[in-house]
Structure 1
């Protein structure tokens, strides 16, 4: 059993089962696809239900995956214990009517004993109490000692959920040793202590159950296995919990560095570090898969995790937003398996930072209020209760989720009147008012406002301005008769030229003027019924009264630029389908005056040539000056014409068709140019991953392209100035020459390091000691490259009796290299084991082969002290 990194373990498992004829599938998104029974994917099997139930045909009867999972039922225990976490990865191999118990157990045993080299005497197997077949296979075919097989009852080792496929289970356990046990003479597999760790569950789905205890054998039984990647890493890295696994520990180290604290020095600090580490892993992956913070559903889960992490950051003394910085480390530790995280890094960090900043605006005042409430509760009263009204105020005014309130007050032994809180929630549906007002929006509910007038007439296709009657003035406190300077309002008119946000196109901006009174219209949205346009405004001068008639006008420049980008989105979708295939469909869109963001279904990143082809195709249609016409027709006629629906648009019996001369025909209610030539030019800015199976293109048109060109010219000029190049055409050659110069200097530095290593060799040998006939050597160097250190190690181990550990400190980081000569290895020396022990003394980890190994250390000032222990460490191995 050799120390193995988490990322390496994942690859080992998937590659192993690929060698057994399995098709490797990428992890499915955390958002369930076509399954409304789950909020978030919580197991490796969950995305496979469609295959097990025969709803879809799998790509192969044998499949292997590493599935991202989120589980939050025990969120209150995260941080308080070392084992609870909300995000984890589940390794699994699946058979859909192909192989069964014989093969599943054979490959499981081969993987853990041959690939991972787990000691057989420390592996235990559990089986269902009546599964004699499994007992015979494990003992007679796999060679498992019968004394290491434990029979368990239906609750533990029989998998079923209601009616449907079900069957017995067989689990693999690892014995971590008596020192991890509870000390009871009855301590065995199934004990709640930390000695026996269940790490792999093999489910033998061989029955169809009716949910009432009757089971019929399946004609083609299935295999479903699940092994927690982090739990396996704990075993392989010989650590006590998931927070000490290499990739997770690196995330915690970053948090510790920001907070200026250390793990395992203060139990309260440790709780905060574990909460933040777990939650930032979860949130990074959730946002990467398309979850956005909100007050409902999976968005609420995300918001709850982010705010819980932010609060624990406050408890560590971190005052400024910091979680978005830790996202970089989460991505760095996981990008090898999930490259889409790196592609989407800026978006993930933007969401995290925005949520942190919104929460930070209110948390200090909210905590002050909550602390005052806690202090006011009589400590002499046996039953201490936080009222529903107080909890609701904390939620509605300060944005504290009820779960966070319960968590904080539970630390003081206080309960909350949650029933009354829910009553108030039902009475008041407007959520987080202040946060929404600060961002120029208002939370509207159809239950708060009953607008019964005729629908607002939209005249914005034909004109940019019109006279309109003000029907309603809506404020956060209800409907008003008048609004004065400084008031934020939502206005409803009988008619409007303002486009209300829909179909991915943003709402118009502009003004409402009546006499000397002016209202800046900052946005335009549909009310919940979709019938009336809500003009979000700020009264800049004078006052306005319900029932008056004034003049509405939109910002024409912004509308024109938005229309250009919207028409470009239509042309882009057509060009993408021509270039990539008919599987491309829009999966999301945002169109404003500056650019367009277009999400679409596609399974891999586009190549530079594909992007160029798409860009040229769109520009070709622009230069052709194609007419763009709009017409209304019934939905069936539109479909017969080949019209495609765009994301976010709801369609009635009569629809609006936007036709770019037959090249692109779309159902769309948005605003467009009447000729493609008005787009000017089209330029793709970026192509990235928006979520699993979803790609995102950002692009611009018209003046946006000019802006990009001007920005590019400024960058080129700056680069020319920095490299002292007068002609921009000479810039590539100058960059290449500079790169060649740097490479030559690097080679020269390596040569000098080799010479330095050679001159210092004799000094290294002079410090040698002897242990049972083996020569033990240690030395530490500053600024030497790892390559030079390796070269020195290779020379040392040419002597078969040499054992050495060499240290190097460069750029604030430390590395250790251990080498053992052939004869020293024969006498028991093992470089991997030796370097692991020495590295641990300086806060590091590592390992490797018997003759050569390497480790990284974090406590560089403890390296010299650690090297003084080398002789005693070698004595443990060399006899």
Structure 2
């Protein structure tokens, strides 16, 4: 087998289809443009919707790309399986009403098996087809020359998401050998397309030839399209003879650098440690590219995903004996690996590192005590009859220690426990209600409006700053009045500068804690809004008396 780097494989794919008349399209941003249905770009075809639905006519009806993608629906599986990743690249070639099966099938075979290209062993390749798709079967058997026992007919090989374009598809598998399998030789799942680790799917070709009508009927599309996808990480794992995606040159430099930061831990020695190494390598890739494309950590949407990934990586760093913020130190390694096709991480390295480091430091403040509390909660839950972490405890970890619910849920799963999600949601709802009552009706209460409108002191918001050790409390509002001291249950505070983001443009506000110069907790921030003169108003639950 050829010795190729991931960069060479990526470029080979693009060059192959360029030779066959395709326009090479640059990877789109991970943040979808004009597509509210997606949180992230999650595939190559996601960027082609405008061409396939006819809203935009491409300059060239043959397109190829290597598209960076993020999928977050199964984050908890990352590190525990061979192939799950949040960030990955999808190599694809697309036809918008141009070529169809008789072109795309031989091209796929040529790219995979020709000595000029990947040069894979033809005997190790298998394909699946939709049973009624006789044309695809004919192309694979009679034109390409695959023997019958290398073609599997499967009813599942039909791509259909309801109304709209749909059609049969053909998947290509590589036989990694029974020695790499996780099922027995005679297991009924031991076949290409079955649930096993022997036959690895590397490429899927969708023949979009029908239109699924609202009445359930399928009719021919006037313009038939081709949509393909080949995971770069998967095909590279084959070429580099790697047991999983993580032993390839896309991940190993990150893992090796993480080893240096750890407390003497080494990869491929302990399975539990390996999970942590993989999680860190995957997550730093995802957050580096997401931040480069304009996403920032926050309490909702994409920002919440980033916050969860960074904190999940930090928790696994702790398990490897890494103290303090460290994930930001791995960004240069990500940039070096990917720079041949994606220069954005190198170009924005300083900014990406700053954002990640600030988010890590924010989490590190409460991480140690939060982990101790989590351990105690898990120990108590194991003793209970229902072996469940209460919603109140899960919310305390979230509200006081910054643990996203998902992290608590994963820790509970690992310990064989459940979490009371309904109780957690009720606690969250109650907190929001307390915050609403604390700030009152900001828009309609005349006395409060007058008070706030008269506050002209300047207050500066600084993104990403964990704590302002010299921040000055300049205004205190209690019961709609300016006061010099607050020792009641609730108050509204303005500082000369603040790291707390105020709700705006659909993005929810930050929440957290305010400490005095002695490191004592004096207030808990439940909401942040904009004052009439644009200062950030911190709505707080008062813990210790506050003075200007």
Shorter-normalised TM-score: what interval? Answer: 0.7 to 0.9
Look up the match of 2:120. 118
Displacement of 1:371: 2.1
Alignment match, 1:450: 441
Pairwise CA distance, 1:486: 11
- Residue aligning to 2:4: 4
- SS of the residue corresponding to residue 91 of structure 2 reads strand
Write the mapping of 1:509-548 to structure 2, written as runs, cut at 5 A.
527=529, 533-534=534-535
Q: Is the 8 A contact 1:526 1:532 kept in 2?
A: no
> 1:136 is matched with which residue?
138
Give the deviation of 1:69 after TM superposition.
0.9
Q: Which position in structure 1 is the counterpart of 2:327?
A: 323
Aligned residue number for residue 170 of structure 1: 170
Does the aligned pair in 2 maintain the 1:446–1:527 contact within 8 Å?
no
Do 1:526 and 1:533's aligned partners in 2 also have CA atoms closer than 8 Å?
Answer: no
Are residues 1:183 and 2:168 paired?
no
The structure showing larger relative contact order (alpha-carbon pairs under 8 Å, at least 6 residues apart) is 2
Q: Deviations over 1:695-724 (max 9, x none)?
A: xxxxxxxxxxxxxxxxxxxxxxxxxxxxxx
SS of match in other structure, 2:432: coil
Structure 1 residues 60 and 149, CA gap change in structure 2 (3 angstroms): same
- CA distance 1:543–1:119, change in 2 (3 Å): closer
CA distance 1:107–1:424, shift in 2 (3 Å)? same
What RMSD over aligned residues (CA atoms) do the two structures have, in Å? 3.0
**Correspondences of 1:369-384 after superposition (within 5 Å):** 369-377=373-381, 379=383, 381-384=384-387
Candidates 350, 360, 363, aligned match of 2:354: 350
CA distance in 2, matches of 1:287, 1:334: 15
Deviation of residue 210 (structure 1)?
1.7
Contact 1:473–1:479 (CA<8 Å) still a contact in 2?
no
Answer whether contact 2:455 2:533 (CA < 8 A) is retained. no
Secondary structure of the corresponding residue to residue 247 of structure 1: coil
Q: 2:412 aligns with which of 392, 409, 412?
A: 409
Aligned residue in 2 for 1:341: 345
Q: Distance in 1 between matches of 2:140 and 2:399?
A: 58
Cα deviation for residue 192 of structure 1 reads 1.5
Q: 1:252-651 alignment to 2 at 5 Å?
A: 252-259=255-262, 260-377=264-381, 379=383, 381-429=384-432, 448-451=439-442, 452-453=445-446, 473-474=476-477, 482-484=483-485, 489-490=492-493, 527=529, 533-534=534-535
CA apart distance, 1:473: 4.8
Partners of 1:483 and 1:204 in 2: CA distance: 71
Residues 1:210 and 1:262: Cα distance change in structure 2 (over 3 Å): same
Q: 1:206 aligned to 206, 209, 212, which one? A: 209
CA distance in 2, matches of 1:94, 1:35: 20
Task: Tell me how far 1:412 sits from its aligned partner.
Answer: 2.3
Residue 334 of structure 1 deviates from its aligned partner by 0.4
Q: TM-score, normalised by structure 2?
A: 0.82
**Which protein has the larger Cα radius of gyration, Structure 1 or Structure 2?**
1
SS in 1 for 2:228: strand
Distance 2:308 2:504 in 1: 28
**1:619-698 → structure 2 map (5 Å cutoff):** none
Give the secondary-structure state (helix, strand or coil) at the position aligned to 2:92.
strand
Q: What is the number of residues matched between the two proteins?
A: 485
SS in 2 for 1:285: helix
User: Could you report, residue by residue, the CA deviation over 1:327-371 in whole angstroms, capped at 9, with x for unpaired residues?
Assistant: 110111001111121111111000110111000001111112222
Scaled by the length of structure 1, what TM-score is found?
0.52
CA distance in 1, matches of 2:503, 2:393: 36
Q: Is 2:228 the partner of 1:225?
A: yes
CA displacement 1:669-697 (0-9 Å, x = unmatched):
xxxxxxxxxxxxxxxxxxxxxxxxxxxxx
Determine the C-alpha separation between the residues in 1 that align with 2:142 and 2:352: 52
SS in 1 for 2:194: coil
| Deviation, structure 1 residue 211 | 5.1
Any conservation in 1 of the 2:237–2:248 contact (CA below 8 Å)?
A: yes
Maintained 8 Å contact 2:334/2:345: no
| Contact persistence 1:501–1:526 (CA under 8 A) | yes
